Chains A and B, each alone.
Chain A
Amino acid sequence: MANLKNNRYLKLFTSTFKLSACTFGGGFVIIPLMRKKFVQELEWIEEQEMLDLTAIAQSSPGAIAVNASILVGYHVAGVLGALVTVVGTVLPPLIIISIISLFYKAFRDNPIVSMAMAGMLCGVAAVIFDVVIDMAKVVFKKKRLLPLLVLIGAFIAVRFYAVNILIIILVCGVIGAIDTVVHEKKGAEVK
């Protein structure tokens, strides 16, 4: 039993360490990677739950990747699990930057590094679009108009008007709350 628990911590650590070492191109990249690992491979988290955790990670202060790791670690193994995943997430950048800081000018000006980076950026964009389609499918399947309108409205707000994400989260939360109240009233009337 103790062995099984230790395995879980070890798995949390190695998973987040590997994911963090590969999150090029901003914090959101860790979401598709985490989804693959924790939702599809390990089945420790549900699809909907992953979206909830992303919302929390996004609207809390700090880096999205760190916040998402804390949430996953906490869910799987409590506070200790969260500490394990934070260390796993922070170590790769800490090690990599420590090494690169010794010769950062050479690294910055290296043509092969920048070619690899340019290519990788394309791959990262493709990975993000892939996960967006998978996630949007779940919303479309429900065949309800409201979530679709929220999706389109939020997209326009963030993309074209650069509205602060906290405001978007707040407004969409209120919409969800009102929707729940309306539905419960309808349910009561039918009875």
Chain B
Amino acid sequence: MIYLELFWSFFQIGLFSIGGGYAAMPLIQNQVVDVHPWLTMTQFADIMTIAEMTPGPIAINGATFVGIQVAGFPGAVIATLGCIFPSCVIVMTLAYIYYRYRGLNMVQGILAGLRPAVIAMIASAGISLLIMALYGQRSLPSDLKQFDAIALFISITAFIILRKFKPHPLWVMAGSGLAGIILYTLI
């Protein structure tokens, strides 16, 4: 029963990927290339590239792509459902606990301890993105001077516009994409 297999595979991916998309990648590979013969390694690499080029979580993008390849559009829907099912149950339970007990002093204290850590993690994710933009890879290269000058220019301009004029972030993202097309074509 292919639908059940899809659901179960992506259920496991959804359940065991903690900490964002890059943590999910090896799990997806294991399920769809190693455990099941659903994708070849080349197809897997392709879909991971496309997942980074399109909006949405990598796991959901992967679920949709694999589902379609294996069992058409219904397969995509079922794989996606499997992927989000663990989140729905676990996160809703945590939400219930949070809103019920957040008034307690102790819970307030714990949350106050977490908030600066969350900011630090978002900052780190931002740095990873900037390295990706400047060097085209996830970690810093040995030669730091070989960066993409256009990318640096767009990043700084976007940042200054955000701080100064406080536009909606979506406009800045769209504008940066447009700037990318224009500048990379011209230069």
A and B held together in a complex = yes
Q: Could you list which residues of chain A lie within 8 angstroms of chain B, going by C-beta atoms?
A: 18, 20-28, 31-33, 36, 48, 51-67, 70-71, 74-75, 79, 82-83, 86, 90, 92-94, 96-98, 100-101, 104-105, 107-108, 112-133, 135-136, 139, 147-148, 150-152, 154-155, 158-159, 164-166, 168-169, 172-177, 179-181, 183-184
Interface size on B, residues (CB 8 A): 99
A-B contact pairs, 27 of them (CB 8 A): A23-B56, A26-B129, A33-B170, A36-B169, A52-B114, A54-B118, A55-B115, A55-B117, A63-B24, A67-B87, A67-B91, A71-B91, A90-B84, A93-B64, A94-B64, A96-B55, A96-B56, A97-B54, A116-B181, A123-B175, A127-B158, A128-B123, A128-B126, A129-B159, A139-B119, A168-B117, A173-B113
Contact B94 A56 (CB under 8 A): yes
Counted as pairs of residues, one from A and one from B, with CB atoms less than 8 Å apart, the total is: 353
Query: Given the known A-B contacts A22-B170, A36-B169, A121-B151, are A158 and B53 also in contact in the complex, defined by CB atoms under 8 Å?
Result: no
Is the CB of B108 closer than 8 A to any CB of chain A?
yes
Contact B109 A28 (CB under 8 A): no
Query: Given the known A-B contacts A104-B47, A119-B176, are A52 and B181 also in contact in the complex, defined by CB atoms under 8 Å?
Result: no
Q: Which residue of B lies closest to A129 (CB)?
A: B126
Contact A104 B117 (CB under 8 A): no
Give Cα A36 to B171, complex, Å: 12
A84 CB → nearest B CB, Å? 12
Interface string of B10-27 (1 = CB under 8 A from A): 000011111111101000
Contact A123 B18 (CB under 8 A): no
Is the CB of B61 closer than 8 A to any CB of chain A?
yes
Query: Given the known A-B contacts A98-B68, A122-B133, are A27 and B57 also in contact in the complex, defined by CB atoms under 8 Å?
Result: yes
Is the CB of B71 closer than 8 A to any CB of chain A?
no
Contact A154 B120 (CB under 8 A): yes
Contact A27 B95 (CB under 8 A): no
Q: Which residue of B lies closest to A144 (CB)?
A: B112
Which are the 9 A-B pairs with shortest beta-carbon distances?
A: A119-B180, A176-B113, A93-B56, A123-B176, A180-B109, A62-B87, A63-B57, A128-B126, A126-B158
| Overall SS of chain A's interface | helix
Is the CB of B102 closer than 8 A to any CB of chain A?
yes
Is the CB of B162 closer than 8 A to any CB of chain A?
yes
| A62-B91, A63-B87, A130-B163 given; 16 more Cβ-contact pairs under 8 Å | A21-B56, A28-B126, A32-B169, A52-B114, A56-B94, A60-B90, A61-B16, A61-B90, A71-B95, A118-B180, A119-B181, A127-B158, A139-B115, A176-B109, A176-B111, A183-B109
Give Cα A105 to B53, complex, Å: 13
B119 CB → nearest A CB, Å? 5
Is the CB of B2 closer than 8 A to any CB of chain A?
no
Is the CB of B88 closer than 8 A to any CB of chain A?
yes
Q: Which residue of A lies closest to B56 (CB)?
A: A93
Query: Given the known A-B contacts A93-B60, A101-B64, A176-B112, are A117 and B98 also in contact in the complex, defined by CB atoms under 8 Å?
Result: no
Give Cα A86 to B61, complex, Å: 15
Q: Which of B58, B86, B117, B123 contacts A132 (CB 8 A)?
A: B123
Contact A126 B159 (CB under 8 A): yes
